[in-house]
Structure 1
Amino acid sequence: MKIGILDDKKEVFSRDVLNKLKEKGYQVEYVWFGYQRIPTKSDYRVIFDRQSMYDEFLRAIMKVLSLNGTYVINNPFSNICDDKLIELNLCQSLGIPYPKTLVLPKENVEYDMSQEIVLTDVKDILPELKFPLVMKPHDGYAWKDVYEVNTPEELDKLYRSLRDEYTILVQEKIEPKLMYRAYSIGHEKVILVRYDPSSRRYLEDDYSQIKGLLPKIEEWTKRLNEVLDYDLNSVEWMIDQNNQAYLIDAFNEVPEILPESIPRRYYDELVNSVAELIEKIFHSDKHNRWPFDYPP
């Protein structure tokens, strides 16, 4: 049995994981896929997948391989939960703090849904929220189409411009003192890295400013990823001026891990931890969690 890496060969992180596993004597290689017979099986015990989220064909193949004995990191079925409404409901269930949030309906430009969907008049939601606000798509990724809104007029204008494209989340903005990305590996390990959104760089940190919060952030991060069944994820935490932690993003199916932006000690720990996770799964009989009953 082999280990496969599904990623662009130019990506340094996956290449470093591949080399780390090769140093330990494993047969590891980049994988590619053409036409497939169904059911599809392979001689890969584990595939480290950092590409299928971008391609429908690859995602379908990862799901079929998962059903037939290959363990895929991340679980290709977990992305059915990947939207921020589910994220916030999970937070509510797990007792994880998150910003006050409203969801605004999308305008259906293809079918007449005017009897079923009432588009929001922003005047109706002003008593619910305090400015400044953050607007973003309910299924957004990273920082794409995320806006800060400071007045009712801005809110109305932006909602009108976006509502034919997105279901919109409106959240009260957390005034940040600190921001961290918590990398969760295998539901068991958390590597917490301070992040500066203004420069989009990671910083060294001794955690002295969040000493009391650190165990709780680690516990919440592990529990969330256990529920989601993500083996590798980065969860974004914002610490406000009162030293209260808020989860602001729970889903990063392919977390950004760049050696040029992450301090070396964190980067090396991430490479080693992911390689150890793959090695552990390789020697187990574990399979991905499926959203339906399927005989392994």
Structure 2
Amino acid sequence: MIKKVGILFGMEDTFPWAFIDKVNELGKGKIIAEAVQIDKVQQGIDYGYSVIFDRISQEVPFYRAYLKNASLMGTAVINNPFWWSADEKFFNNCLSMEMGIPVPKTVLLPSNARPDNTSETSFRNLKVPLDWEYMFDYIGFPAYMKPHDGGGWKSVYRVENSEQLFEAHKETEQLVMMLQEEIVFDDYFRVYCLGQKYVHIMPYDPRKPFHERYVSDIKATGEARKKLLKTVHDYTLRLNQALGYDFNTVEFAVRDGVPYAIDFCNPAPDADINSVGQENFDWIVEHSAKYAIEKAKEHKPNQNNSSWGGFVRNSIAPVKPKVGKVNLKTAAEAKKTAVKTAVKKAPAKTKAPAKTKAPAKPKK
């Protein structure tokens, strides 16, 4: 029986067609790929795909509803549309801390403008003003402000002080934002992860123009480089296995040899040949096609074939936490720690010089 792999996509033009060609080449007639075609969506109907590779539903709610129906009918959707609908970047940072993976210091900010259909009374649980002084002391400046669930470098601000922050915050309107510590990095990586097992590490520089960001060299050398790349590889797998993503990129900023996970909620990552370059493009096309074929072969009719991460599975059947994780704190504990840190950093008072005793008179 021939199995079908579909890809759902929007404006991108290089990856989808290359993916289709590669699946058809490797599938050898037993597994075929095509662009998904939708002329109607009836509830509870299986439209015949063993696998659908999703590249666009984050932008189109209609497609997201279509994919959830397909998943219920047994299609293996990459990525799981149920989890992707629930996930966001601030949660990811909290989960990363629980796993012992370094992340920048981060706080959540309420939207500057009230959401539609709300009033001032809707926010009676928010204190006015917020504890801005604590947040600024904790994060420090310069800092980055970004949407808590956005992507594609949209609405990202670098702010030098509180005045710039408040001005930028006005522009974000109803977006819920994160304020995040700036990591001044030596190396930076963007890492493809497929199937929670295939990893491809790409040197990357977000400071460069968009078309030059993947043209970068790794500055670490020797044993330090080898150790760094292994850590980045292991952190990437651990994060994606916990979140359950079959296709994702993780970004790491390396400071003093320590890779900080900056962003790891990119389930429709850039795969265009014009930005990632030929070598990276060839890798992602080859491995995404290979993985889609694996999923098609594993597909079992009339059951949920989409992936679920360790976080969800462990919530149902809990496992003991790993030793060495960064435990999350209560607000009171966090404030207490901040006060202790401030006291330690305060300059010590200088003591007055001790009085010296006069020399004893010699005995006669």
Which structure 1 segments of 5+ residues have no match?
none
User: Residues 135 and 21 (structure 1 numbering): CA distance in 2 closer, same or farther, change over 3 Å?
Assistant: same
- Asked if 1:167 is matched to 2:176, the reply is yes
1:56 Cα shift? 1.1
Report the more deviating stretch, 163-172 or 200-209: 200-209
- Asked if 1:266 is matched to 2:280, the reply is yes
**Residue identity opposite 1:229 in structure 2:** G
- Alpha-carbon distance between aligned partners in 1 of 2:12 and 2:227, rounded to the nearest angstrom: 40
1:31 Cα shift? 1.1
Match of 1:178 in 2: 187
- Asked if 1:38 is matched to 2:43, the reply is yes
**Residue identity opposite 1:233 in structure 2:** N
- Alpha-carbon distance between aligned partners in 1 of 2:85 and 2:61, rounded to the nearest angstrom: 13
Scaled by the length of structure 1, the TM-score of the pair is 0.90
- Asked if 1:115 is matched to 2:128, the reply is no
Identity of aligned residues (%): 32
Scaled by the length of structure 2, the TM-score of the pair is 0.74
- Asked if 1:216 is matched to 2:231, the reply is yes
- Alpha-carbon distance between aligned partners in 1 of 2:229 and 2:164, rounded to the nearest angstrom: 37
1:277 Cα shift? 0.2
- Alpha-carbon distance between aligned partners in 2 of 1:265 and 1:206, rounded to the nearest angstrom: 16
- Alpha-carbon distance between aligned partners in 2 of 1:9 and 1:146, rounded to the nearest angstrom: 22
- Alpha-carbon distance between aligned partners in 2 of 1:280 and 1:205, rounded to the nearest angstrom: 33
Q: What is the DSSP-based 3-state SS (H/G/I as helix, E as strand, rest coil) of the residue aligned with 1:88?
A: helix
- Alpha-carbon distance between aligned partners in 2 of 1:223 and 1:204, rounded to the nearest angstrom: 25
Report the more deviating stretch, 242-251 or 73-82: 73-82
Q: What is the DSSP-based 3-state SS (H/G/I as helix, E as strand, rest coil) of the residue aligned with 1:237?
A: strand
1:155 paired residue among 165, 175, 182: 165
Q: Judge conservation of contact 1:193–1:203 (CA < 8 Å) in 2.
A: no
Q: Judge conservation of contact 2:273–2:281 (CA < 8 Å) in 1.
A: yes
Match of 1:246 in 2: 260
Which structure: greater helix fraction? Answer: 2
Match of 2:338 in 1: none
Q: What is the DSSP-based 3-state SS (H/G/I as helix, E as strand, rest coil) of the residue aligned with 1:23?
A: helix
- Asked if 1:86 is matched to 2:91, the reply is yes
Q: Judge conservation of contact 1:234–1:252 (CA < 8 Å) in 2.
A: yes
Match of 1:202 in 2: 214
- Alpha-carbon distance between aligned partners in 2 of 1:206 and 1:152, rounded to the nearest angstrom: 34
Q: What is the DSSP-based 3-state SS (H/G/I as helix, E as strand, rest coil) of the residue aligned with 1:282?
A: helix
Match of 2:306 in 1: 288
- Alpha-carbon distance between aligned partners in 2 of 1:74 and 1:114, rounded to the nearest angstrom: 34
**Residue identity opposite 1:213 in structure 2:** L
- Asked if 1:64 is matched to 2:76, the reply is no
- Asked if 1:225 is matched to 2:240, the reply is yes
- Alpha-carbon distance between aligned partners in 1 of 2:203 and 2:58, rounded to the nearest angstrom: 26
1:97 Cα shift? 0.4
**Residue identity opposite 2:147 in structure 1:** P
Q: Judge conservation of contact 1:9–1:15 (CA < 8 Å) in 2.
A: no
Match of 1:192 in 2: 201
Aligned residue pairs, count = 290
2:250 paired residue among 225, 235, 249: 235
2:22 paired residue among 14, 20, 23: 20
Report the more deviating stretch, 120-129 or 215-224: 120-129
Q: Judge conservation of contact 1:130–1:172 (CA < 8 Å) in 2.
A: yes
